[in-house]
Amino acid sequence: MTRKTANEKPKQRIKDFEKKIIENERTEKEMGVVTEIGRIINSTLDIDEVYERFAIEARKLILFDRLSVSLQAHQEGNMVVAYVTGMDLPGRRKGDTHPLAGSMIEVLMHNRTGFIFHPKGVEEVAVRYPSLVNSYKAGLKSTITIPLISHDKIIGSLGFGSKKPNAYAPIDLDLAERIGNQIAGAIANAQVHADLKNTEKSRRESEALLRALFEQAAVGMAEVDINTGRYLLVNRRHCEIFGMTEEEMLATTFADVTHREDCLLHGEKLAQLISGKLDTLTMEERCIRKDGATIWLNVAATLLLNPGGEPEKEIIVIEDITGRKHLELELRKTLDILESRVMERTYELEETNTALRVLLQKRENDRQELAESIQTNIEQLVMPALKKLRASSSAKEKNACLNILEANLLNIVSPFLNHLASSYKNLTPREIQIAELVKQGKTSKEIAEFLGLSVGTVVVHRHNMRRKLKFKSKDVNLRSHLLLLNTTYHRDE
């Protein structure tokens, strides 16, 4: 596996984690809106209030220029506009009645499922849904229509309209259907309440319907006494999240199942809610399941007042976000590992840079040493022979000079003489010349002739070299010692 491939795997893992987090955040946003709509529905039976507040929440998920709710009118084959917000359309205002024939709602009655309509032009609208021609001409280019179904009966439709062509996608349709399911229940509740509110039977049926909606909610919901913290009412999903039965939940308190630190924080926020400093309590809390496992919950709470207008109960909506929290923890661990690897790699690079600087410095030193060696060799070996060659008149002397030049030029880059000069600095330049000639096997007589000296002078120089090189025994051959010195030096190099 290459280093590049090894580095790409953590990057891909990060991208996957980030994608999951983004998806979870979107799901949480959708759940939050759906939960709020459910809370609105459960908080009042005033359908007009539900419509207004529901429209505000729906806009957070689906952008629209017009939202309308149409219900079946008492006259068969007609629909009545029960609510509208946004773009004004003549004949489609609140309270207006319009025929079912030639409308999208007629299609809903047969198919019982919502659909998206992105017409390519007014001709297509006129052919498929003649009643929408005026709406299209007024500017609506995209629509979503959802059936409102209660007790397996279509009671009306929910419509979203946009001035933008091709404005909606399947995900918008799915959200609209989820919202439609909730608003259908609210409408049904309101109708039931309106029809039966003056009788005990209507009260019992309304409570049963609300209880059914409460029980079937996709999020955990509970009613808690704010004075004792005891659970007074819990739905099915709430029990599932804590792994308890309804009886077990009602026998415990909010503090019993909440992490101590988060329970204190919840209490502080509840106090702010009661004092009016907060409109809604929202926070992430750690709680304890029946099996002892710690779970993370997204909690939203509002107050329920008694007939005297005093806070009495706390309505809590919870959503299990443990999975998202685990993903965040794994992502943090991965980021820590990557940061550690980056630091290790940085340290390795720093060490490599230091080694390179040392090598470069050594190379520079070697270059300087080589230049000095060449300069020394030229001055000590070549230049004297050239001077001698210029001054010589006999062919024999010239040949001798040429032989010396040839031998020395072959070793021109050898650091031997520079090494010899630095190691035995007491030798004079003349003695260094004689040492080189001795190393080449020249006799004292040949050296004397070449250098223009007497044989006695050469002998004196040889004697001085022995003394300076610290060996006086006649048994030690000067040439062998110099050759050995050269060989040892090269071996050390």
Please write down the long-range contacts of 340-344, taking CB distance under 8 Å and 24 or more positions apart: none
H helix or E strand, kind and range, residue 377: helix 322-377
| Largest Cα–Cα separation, the chain | 149
pLDDT digits (tens, 9 = 90+) for 149-194: 888 888 888 999 999 999 999 988 988 888 888 888 777 777 766 6
Average pLDDT, the chain: 79
Q: What is the pLDDT of residue 107?
A: 81
What's the pTM value of the predicted model, to 2 decimals?
0.39
Burial (CB count within 10 angstroms: exposed 0-12, middle 13-18, buried 19+), residue 196: middle
pLDDT digits (tens, 9 = 90+) for 279-310: 888 888 999 999 989 999 988 888 888 888 88
One-letter amino acid for residue 377 of the chain: N
Same fold, 25-199 and 219-320: yes
Domain 219-320 carries which CATH code?
3.30.450.20
- Alpha-carbon distance of 202 to 221, in angstroms, equals 24
**β-sheet with 231-234: strand ranges across:** 231-234, 220-225, 311-320, 294-305, 281-288
- Alpha-carbon distance of 234 to 74, in angstroms, equals 38
- Helix, strand, coil percentages for the chain (3-state, nearest 5): 60, 15, 25
pLDDT digits (tens, 9 = 90+) for 93-150: 998 988 887 777 788 878 888 899 999 999 998 888 888 888 899 999 999 998 988 8
Q: What is the pLDDT of residue 118?
A: 93
pLDDT digits (tens, 9 = 90+) for 383-413: 776 776 666 666 666 666 666 666 666 555 4
Q: E-strand spans in 240-321?
A: 281-288, 294-305, 311-320
CB-based contact 334:17 (threshold 8 Å): yes
Taking the mean position of all CA atoms in its chain, how far away is CA 458?
85
Give the pLDDT band (50/70/90) at residue 50. Answer: confident
pLDDT digits (tens, 9 = 90+) for 315-330: 888 888 888 888 888 8
Return the half-sphere exposure (C-beta side, CA atoms, 13 A cut-off) of residue 292. 0
Give me the residue spans of the domains in the chain: 25-199, 219-320, 361-492
End-to-end CA distance of the chain: 40
Q: E-strand spans in 330-419?
A: none
- Alpha-carbon distance of 231 to 229, in angstroms, equals 7
Residue-wise DSSP of 201-257: HHHHHHHHHHHHHHHT-SSEEEEEETTT-BEEEE-HHHHHHHT--HHHHHTSBTGGG
Examine the pLDDT at 25 and tell me if it is beyond 70.
no
State the Rg of the chain over Cα: 50
Picking from 350-359, 448-457, 469-478, which range would have the lowest pLDDT averaged per residue?
469-478
Superfamily classification of domain 25-199: GAF domain (3.30.450.40)
- Alpha-carbon distance of 433 to 439, in angstroms, equals 10
pLDDT digits (tens, 9 = 90+) for 234-288: 888 899 999 999 999 999 998 898 888 888 888 888 888 888 888 888 888 999 9
Q: What is the pLDDT of residue 412?
A: 58
Question: 289 vs 21, 72, 235, 292, CA distance in Å?
Answer: 24, 47, 16, 5
